[in-house]
């Protein structure tokens, strides 16, 4: 089966499932697509007891696609640039310090809290796992997924300052989370050698990825701005933004910088109101926004269809599923605790709305990034166990948290108004 046929099947399924969702379920896109695809995969699995043709086709498609590489090295840069392009820069500027702290200190704190609790939790199910591997799970499950968060929050009617905090944190903590994961992964892969675990080595690796990524993003964004300002042709300017993402991602990967952080930074710079006014005509702005909205919707659709299909690679051991179910409250409690001190510190200065920590905890959804990182684990790192645990947490986050976060926001706003 050629790559074109595989892509055709995925796009056709995405279109079909998207139609069913819009026509009948009327759920937010990410939630509806994931639900329909999971049901479809389970139906295919059930049919396989009588005829395994469909199951063989779906499993073949999954094995031919390197989901981890496809998402982390290709799709993620486009999705993050599109998300950052439409983020309110001025609101984000006001909230920059809590966003930075949430995305760095929050991710690190959550990583170690989740890793430690999971390490002591797993023996309850007769599962003995090395602490470093539990830290890997903590690192891959701690970042919230901007791809899942963006669309749901807009439909939930979240207050702008709260939406900015959650979206801003999600845009940045995913890049930081990837760096944290890769750092721990290198330590685990080397067997904890002194060279890989040295503080300066870790700091150098972390600094190069983060600082290099942000610096590259600023450079790419500024060059894009200069090119767009010097002409007035919306076709060419749309292509320039597309080239900026592709070239920026390729350069980041070559220099071992964080491509996600680079694209978030570039997107924020190009999307800034003052930059838009000085570099884009009204026609150009409309076309650039519509183009990236379409890219965002298309890749989102494909991503959540693939997430649902990947369920067929899981090892359905009862102990793994039970561990995943217990991991849900562990991950939520650790996120709440990791945000506690930063929120208390910034609360008075920036006028946080009541129950900010609760909303950010429940609204911090996990998605494709966690699954992609988990797929990169080796067998020695307990990949099968953590993949099931990750899937259980992600499915709960998208289907349960995603469907109820709007009601939580509405309830807190009504309570605030009544007071």
Neighbours of 299 (CB within 10 A): 19
pLDDT at position 345 is 87
For 5, the token pair is 């046929």
What residue ranges define each of the domains in the chain, with the CATH number in brackets? 3-64 (no CATH), 68-418 (1.20.1530.20)
pLDDT tier, 410 (very low <50, low <70, confident <90, very high otherwise): confident
Model confidence over 142-170: pLDDT tens digits? Answer: 998 776 666 666 666 677 777 788 888 88
Rounding to the nearest 10 degrees, give the CA dihedral for residues 305, 162, 98, 150.
20
pTM passes above 0.85: yes
pLDDT at position 417 is 59
> Is residue 409 predicted with pLDDT exceeding 80?
yes
Cα–Cα distance for residue pair 147/71, rounded to 1 Å: 11
Closest C-alpha to 110, from 86, 131, 129, 135 = 135
Model confidence over 28-63: pLDDT tens digits? Answer: 888 899 899 999 988 998 998 999 898 898 888 888
Closest C-alpha to 218, from 180, 257, 254, 164 = 257
What's the average model confidence in pLDDT over 360-378?
90
For 210, the token pair is 């983060």
């Amino acid at each position: 089966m050629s790559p074109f046929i595989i892509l055709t099947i995925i796009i056709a399924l995405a279109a079909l499932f998207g139609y069913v969702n819009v026509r009948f379920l009327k759920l937010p896109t990410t939630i509806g697509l994931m639900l329909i695809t999971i049901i479809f995969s389970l139906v295919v699995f059930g049919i396989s007891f009588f005829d395994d043709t469909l199951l063989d086709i779906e499993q073949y498609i999954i094995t031919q696609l390197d989901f981890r590489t496809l998402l982390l090295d290709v799709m993620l840069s486009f999705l993050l640039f599109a998300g950052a392009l439409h983020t309110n820069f001025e609101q984000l500027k006001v909230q920059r310090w809590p966003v930075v702290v949430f995305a760095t200190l929050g991710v690190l704190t959550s990583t170690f809290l989740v890793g430690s609790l999971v390490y002591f939790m797993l023996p309850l199910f007769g599962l003995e796992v090395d602490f470093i591997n539990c830290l890997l799970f903590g690192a891959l499950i701690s970042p919230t997924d901007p791809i899942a968060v963006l669309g749901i929050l807009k439909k939930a009617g979240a207050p702008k300052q709260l939406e900015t905090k959650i979206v801003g944190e999600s845009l940045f903590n995913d890049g930081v989370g990837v760096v944290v994961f890769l750092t721990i992964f290198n330590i685990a892969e080397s067997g904890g050698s002194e060279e890989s675990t040295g503080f300066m080595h870790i700091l150098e690796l972390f600094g190069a990825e983060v600082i290099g990524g942000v610096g590259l993003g600023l450079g790419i964004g500024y060059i894009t701005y200069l090119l767009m300002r010097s002409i007035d042709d919306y076709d060419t300017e749309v292509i320039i933004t597309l080239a900026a993402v592709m070239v920026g991602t390729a350069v980041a990967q070559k220099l071992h910088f964080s491509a996600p952080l680079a694209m978030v930074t570039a997107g924020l710079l190009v999307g800034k109101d003052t930059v838009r006014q000085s570099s884009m005509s009204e026609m150009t702005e409309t076309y650039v926004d519509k183009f990236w909205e379409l890219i965002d919707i298309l890749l989102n659709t494909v991503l959540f269809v693939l997430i649902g299909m990947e369920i067929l690679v899981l090892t359905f051991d009862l102990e793994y599923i039970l561990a995943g179910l217990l991991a849900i409250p562990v991950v939520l409690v650790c996120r709440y605790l990791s945000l506690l001190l930063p929120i208390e510190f910034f609360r008075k200065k920036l006028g946080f709305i009541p129950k900010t920590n609760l909303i950010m905890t429940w609204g911090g959804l996990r998605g494709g990034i966690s699954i992609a990182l988990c797929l990169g684990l080796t067998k020695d790192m307990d990949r099968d166990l953590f993949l099931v645990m990750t899937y259980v947490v992600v499915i709960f986050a998208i289907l349960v948290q995603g469907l109820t976060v709007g009601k939580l926001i509405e309830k807190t706003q009504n309570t605030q108004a009544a007071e």
